[in-house]
Chain A
């Protein structure tokens, strides 16, 4: 089509770049301001604060050196990593299993799907409050365990069980959301691929291994990354159920930052930990971009 036959491109061209920039500025201004005020400024402030040691007037790395030699912070890093290594694969595996299980046209499935998704809608703090009551010595879970012949457990008050209890809560909250994302991915897989695999004699496991998994690469990568980021930021359940205890066994990094800033009154260390957390999250997200764009180039 020749340019002259499109009246609009004439209009577009007749608008000078300056006019377009002016209009775009008006449209973009509130959003750009909110990005600067709500993301960049606090991030820069965190960097600034993190480089100022207590009572110092010049920048130094003292706060970073301090937190990385502080056994309490190191414990929190260790707990956060252990938590991430368990909770992320666990949630993605369950979400994938549920997505495959629920991806059918059987009666009532839509209803059950909503049931799994419901906890996502509830505020995390409210879920934590409900589960705190359920974890009580005389609460719902001990009653259920008793009914199947298992003695009472201590759950969030036991250093051995507290982290697992937190993992259970956040998984109950989050799995439905990731399941929904993966179901959208499953529905994008062409049916013909399954038919071809069946004709070639592939069994259910082989269809999953050689059709579903490779076809789901993109949504699975997205879910794994988004889930990882979300789980690095878990705060409300820890703050409400355990406050990081017992014996630091659930002291996830967000709880550590909060404690440093508002309980110990050590803003420098809190800011240094915040910067570490932001860098960690951004690194993970950038890896995701790499993984996802590799795929589209091929």
Chain B
């Protein structure tokens, strides 16, 4: 047994690395292409050689051009929509989760089930009818129209409720004896104790909005209100495309969530584990 563990481990490490590199390949190609002059991007692909994987000329022109064009407006839109969604979304979901986890009001079970089942209707499935409602409310091409779908998030409510339930009862019993009301208990005891869960929930909402494609495509078609994901896609299907700009835009749109993701990975995997295995 013992003597074959080392080569086996080495083999396992090689296999893992090979698989991971396959997953990284498109991202690596994206990165080097965004740093290449326009005419070099497809030039060295065939035949496959050293210059295919190592850029021989590096330029930041694509990135500079990206920011000077209309795309910068789209990126600002995406950032505004995503960050406001996180703040408003937490303000909507955290109190709801608190009521469902802590206040033992009659009918709590029914409300919780009704909410979870409603949120099980995937958002994209009802995007088309929701679009005709929001157009009727004159919310087309507005930030409100873009942000609203992200603020009510069933997964965030579920996650926060679960976390609130794990906070010992004794804390709120003591607070009640001290004369605190529900609002104070929520604001001064539960929220400060729930940072990891709040970050997980915020992350879910951020990624929901940063990922969004179908909804912003419908609700915000004007050039001023277009979000970056939509702008990039339309860019790439335009007749006379600049691949330098496309790659620079894709790079930027990928980099932001990847950075956030790397910084908060433990919270993200925590939320995944919580929803996946311990329901």
Contacts and interface: CB of A to CB of B under 8 A. Distances in A.
Q: Helix, strand, loop or mixed for chain B's interface?
A: helix
Given A106-B9, A106-B13, A139-B45, A38 B148 contact: yes
A9 B100 CA distance: 18
B124 interface: yes
A28 B111 contact: yes
Given A181-B273, A236-B233, A122 B103 contact: no
B144 to A, nearest CB: 12
A27 interface: yes
A147 B48 contact: yes
B142 interface: no
Interface string B239-262: 000010011001001100110111
B274 to A, nearest CB: 8
A61 interface: no
B176 interface: yes
Interface stretch (A16-24, A69-77, A153-161): A16-24
A184 interface: yes
Contacts of A28: 95-96, 99-100, 111
A126 B250 contact: yes
Interface stretch (A52-60, A83-91, A206-214, A254-262): A254-262
Contacts of B104: 12, 20
Interface stretch (B20-28, B55-63, B69-77, B193-201): B20-28
Given A38-B123, A108-B13, A139 B279 contact: no
A49 B129 contact: yes
Interface in B125-142: 125-126, 128-130, 132-133
Nearest to B52: A143
Interface in B27-68: 27, 29-30, 33, 42, 45-48, 52
Contacts of B52: 143
A181 B173 contact: no
A202 interface: no
Interface residues of A, number: 102
Nearest to B149: A38
B18 to A, nearest CB: 9
B277 interface: yes
Nearest to B247: A133
B124 A138 contact: no
A134 B213 contact: no
Interface string A17-54: 10011011011101110110111111101100100000
Contacts of A233: 122, 124-125
B236 A42 contact: no
Most buried by A among B47, B103, B111: B103
A125 B213 contact: yes
Q: Which DSSP category, helix, strand, loop or mixed, fits chain A's interface?
A: helix
Contacts of A34: 92, 148, 151-152
Given A34-B151, A138-B42, A143-B46, A43 B126 contact: yes
A106 B14 CA distance: 11
Nearest to B24: A115
A27 B98 contact: yes
A239 B13 CA distance: 38
Contacts of B229: 123, 125-126, 236
Interface in B87-123: 91-93, 95-96, 98-100, 103-108, 111, 114-115, 117-123
B81 interface: no
A274 B157 CA distance: 26
B260 to A, nearest CB: 8
B103 A27 contact: yes
A122 B258 contact: yes
Top 6 nearest A-B pairs (CB, nearest first) are A34-B152, A8-B173, A31-B96, A184-B273, A112-B20, A181-B276
Given A27-B98, A28-B95, A121-B261, 15 more contacts: A21-B106, A31-B92, A38-B130, A38-B152, A39-B126, A101-B15, A121-B260, A128-B233, A129-B246, A140-B26, A140-B29, A142-B45, A181-B276, A181-B277, A281-B122
27 contacts: A11-B176, A17-B106, A24-B99, A31-B115, A32-B96, A34-B152, A38-B130, A43-B126, A45-B132, A46-B126, A106-B16, A112-B16, A114-B265, A115-B23, A117-B261, A119-B23, A121-B254, A121-B260, A130-B26, A138-B42, A138-B45, A180-B273, A181-B272, A222-B277, A239-B214, A278-B121, A278-B125
